[in-house]
Structure 1
Amino acid sequence: MAIYDITFHPAWWHKRTGVSFDKKFFLNPDYRIQADMLMRRFLFENFPEIYPSESYMVQPRPLIDSDLLAGEYLQAQLLGCDILFTDDNLPEVQCAHLTDAQIEALSVPDLDHSTVWAMYEKQMKTLISRFGHVESYLDLCGVQNLAFALRGQELFIDYYENPRLAHHLLTVCTQTLIAVADRLRQYTSHISTGVSSILGKTAPQAYLTSNCTVDMISADLYETYLMPYDIQLAEHFGVFAVHHCGMHCERFAPLYRKTPNLVWLEAGAHSDFHAVRSACENSWLNLRYSPQNLLCESIPEIQENVRSQFSSASFEKRNDFTSMSCVGIDVNTPDQNVIAFCRAIQDIPQ
């Protein structure tokens, strides 16, 4: 059986369980722990084919953020972005649209004197005092993701018209990512399952960077502007993983392959999985299945697409370096489609 994972959209959780994802979910450990147990109990009771063990939902977990969600916000918040919290959505980063002068003045936040960081560090200390450890599911973000949140679409103009300013912004973003991750590692050894929880089953020791926005630029621009910073992350953390949820991971896979210490790559739905596997044959490959497809396809279509996608990404006709996730499952997706998806992967030999 191949390894797989599913993650539901917050609107799904809110409708099915009543859990709210406003500020209290992210800032109140007691509410979050109770919500987490409610969510896991719901999965166990409604999807026994997927979660067959009652132990899955019994014990409270000392978690900060949640591996049942996928969303990034903390690093942008630390650098001054406003965050919109709502009952049925992920925390939404409001673009800061920094001016040239504001970027010139931008620096890595001092976590020891940051009121934002203090809110999260206090939670981790509280959880450790109560449970003896903490499970961090805070998203580690990505270099361009963070730069885009701060600058907006002007970032892409900067690449052509103001490279020096772009590099300053990317440098601050990279150093901020490192500072936050290093601080998290003081509390827990596994820090990278905030955006792709399946990493915990496949490469828990890796540092994962989120390259969600990389599909918006060319491979040449990635190589010139972003690859040097991904290499910095890879060299700093030693074991490296890349989350690329865009539709064209094959355009960047040959460059990702050049990144030192790359052990794991996630390719977005509708990517050419065969081309990605050919470029990164020695790395674990996690395939993203489209939640829109899962919503709209028939069960036979889901079964066939799962099989064909695994086949296209197989490594030397084996699947022991391949897994699959469907993340952000829509609130209107029929339960039988979710079950069919999981069963189809369970039938994949490994």
Structure 2
Amino acid sequence: WRLVPSDRARNNITVVMGFMPSWWEHEYGIKFGRNFHLDRKFHVDSLVRMEQLLLDRFGDLPDFSHGEDYSGGCAFERMWGDALIPALFGCEVSFDGPSGHPYAYELGLDDSRVQGLTIPDIESHPVTQSLRPRGDREALGMKGELGFEGVINVAYKLRGQQLFVDMVDAPERARHIFEVVWKTIDEFVRMVRTWQDPLVDRPTYFVNCNCMVNMLSPQMYEEQLLEFDKRFAQQFELFGIHTCNWTVDPYLDSIKQIQDLAYLDMGADSNLEKVHELFPRLYPAVFLHPEEFRSLSPEDITKEVTRIGKALGKGYVLLSDLEVGTSDNQIRAAYEAAACS
């Protein structure tokens, strides 16, 4: 929501990039361990430094955007990572894995514990207290975005692989998990939005992460999970879906049932013609897989971004999770091709 392709001052195709923690450590010695995710001052100081490093290195690129201005000291960009909501349910979280991302271990709830699963005490939870604004300055609005994850992703952390068995053999049990997770995410996100926008000056927004939906048939998604996406769309003025770089085609007819979808990302092999047909007001976002991107020459990147740009018309090219070994020339080729699209 920070970039608006319909803004006439911007190019039609907006590139958004992000780097893996290993890239930051390799290039600048910045580590994404426990301190980055839990120590507020260390977190903000790191963000400010990272922001300036990106500006110095890539600030001359067309339409380059580095996100929020963190210099005011009020930020919680990805604190707790994707482990945030699982931690509310009691999942053990490791902050020291080789990926640099917090990792929530599966809770492995058995049938009886699933039956007793309820919404956590969000207001007084230690995770909430670690994020809550402190003092008058922070109360004016926290910057950044948290890893709220999504219904299917969190449900899997709670139940494990047995969740997929439940969806076939005990759908009411799976539905109970989904229901509790949905209510927890919804309540937590709306609480955080009041921290970020205490004067209610901006539209409320949320992107549900459906990273694991491609492990389900389109029918299972429509019958067991689409309802929760529809509910999110009713709760927030701007609602979107993150698909985690898979081909979205089999699910498009179901997703079309969501009113006024404001964001949808997808893999590069998705049928953009059909996306435009079903969502004429949407500016789609297309991922370039980081390993594939790293393997392409700048010339091939120019061709691929140009191809995607023509199919998009207006929208985003997402260079997420860029890894060590990705060259500046490759990144520059992507931005320059997008500017010409």
Class of the TM-score when normalised by the shorter of the 2 chains = 0.7 to 0.9
CA gap of 1:342–1:61, structure 2 versus 1, over 3 A, is farther
Q: Output one character per residue of 1:130-186: Cα deviation in whole Å (capped at 9) or x when no partner.
A: 583211410221110111111122111111101110000000010001110111022
Per the alignment, residue 4 of structure 2 pairs with: none
Superposed CA RMSD:
2.6
Alignment of 1:162-181 (within 5 A): 162-181=170-189
Contact 1:147/1:170, CA 8 A, preserved across alignment: yes
Alignment of 1:74-153 (within 5 A): 74-86=84-96, 89-121=100-132, 124-126=133-135, 128-129=136-137, 132-153=140-161
Structure 2: how far apart are the matches of 1:55 and 1:228?
32
CA gap of 1:144–1:307, structure 2 versus 1, over 3 A, is same
Name the aligned partner's letter for residue 46 of structure 2. A
Corresponding pairs, count? 325
Structure 2: how far apart are the matches of 1:55 and 1:169?
34
Contact 1:44/1:57, CA 8 A, preserved across alignment: no
Pick one of 8, 26, 31 that aligns with 1:20: 31
Structure 1: how far apart are the matches of 2:81 and 2:43?
16
1:344 counterpart = 2:337: yes
Partner SS for 1:156: helix
TM-score by length of 1: 0.85
TM-score by length of 2: 0.88
Structure 2: how far apart are the matches of 1:158 and 1:21?
36
Contact 2:107/2:160, CA 8 A, preserved across alignment: yes
- Following TM superposition, by how much is the alpha carbon of 1:187 offset from its aligned partner in structure 2, in angstroms? 0.6
Partner SS for 1:135: coil
Per the alignment, residue 325 of structure 1 pairs with: 318
CA gap of 1:131–1:170, structure 2 versus 1, over 3 A, is closer
Partner SS for 2:196: coil
Contact 2:14/2:338, CA 8 A, preserved across alignment: yes
Consecutive unaligned residues of structure 2, counting only runs of 5 or more, are: 1-10
Partner SS for 2:281: coil
More displaced stretch, 130-139 vs 10-19: 130-139
Partner SS for 1:64: coil
More displaced stretch, 27-36 vs 83-92: 83-92
1:46 counterpart = 2:54: no
Contact 2:51/2:66, CA 8 A, preserved across alignment: no
CA gap of 1:114–1:54, structure 2 versus 1, over 3 A, is closer
Structure 2: how far apart are the matches of 1:257 and 1:210?
17
Structure 1: how far apart are the matches of 2:176 and 2:66?
50
Structure 1: how far apart are the matches of 2:67 and 2:303?
32
Per the alignment, residue 158 of structure 1 pairs with: 166
Structure 1: how far apart are the matches of 2:295 and 2:59?
23
Partner SS for 2:93: strand
- Following TM superposition, by how much is the alpha carbon of 1:71 offset from its aligned partner in structure 2, in angstroms? 4.5
1:182 counterpart = 2:175: no
More displaced stretch, 134-143 vs 86-95: 86-95
Partner SS for 1:327: strand
- Following TM superposition, by how much is the alpha carbon of 1:271 offset from its aligned partner in structure 2, in angstroms? 2.5
CA gap of 1:237–1:25, structure 2 versus 1, over 3 A, is same
Structure 1: how far apart are the matches of 2:84 and 2:37?
11
Contact 2:245/2:289, CA 8 A, preserved across alignment: no
Structure 2: how far apart are the matches of 1:70 and 1:312?
36
Q: Output one character per residue of 1:200-249: Cα deviation in whole Å (capped at 9) or x when no partner.
A: xxx97532111111111111000010001111111122321111124221
Partner SS for 2:180: helix
CA gap of 1:43–1:70, structure 2 versus 1, over 3 A, is farther
Partner SS for 1:7: strand
Name the aligned partner's letter for residue 93 of structure 2. I
Per the alignment, residue 212 of structure 1 pairs with: 211
Consecutive unaligned residues of structure 1, counting only runs of 5 or more, are: 191-202
Contact 1:254/1:280, CA 8 A, preserved across alignment: no
Contact 1:262/1:283, CA 8 A, preserved across alignment: yes
Per the alignment, residue 240 of structure 2 pairs with: 241
- The percent of aligned pairs where both chains have the same amino acid is 22
CA gap of 1:54–1:161, structure 2 versus 1, over 3 A, is closer
Contact 1:17/1:38, CA 8 A, preserved across alignment: no
Structure 2: how far apart are the matches of 1:54 and 1:146?
29
Contact 1:238/1:261, CA 8 A, preserved across alignment: no
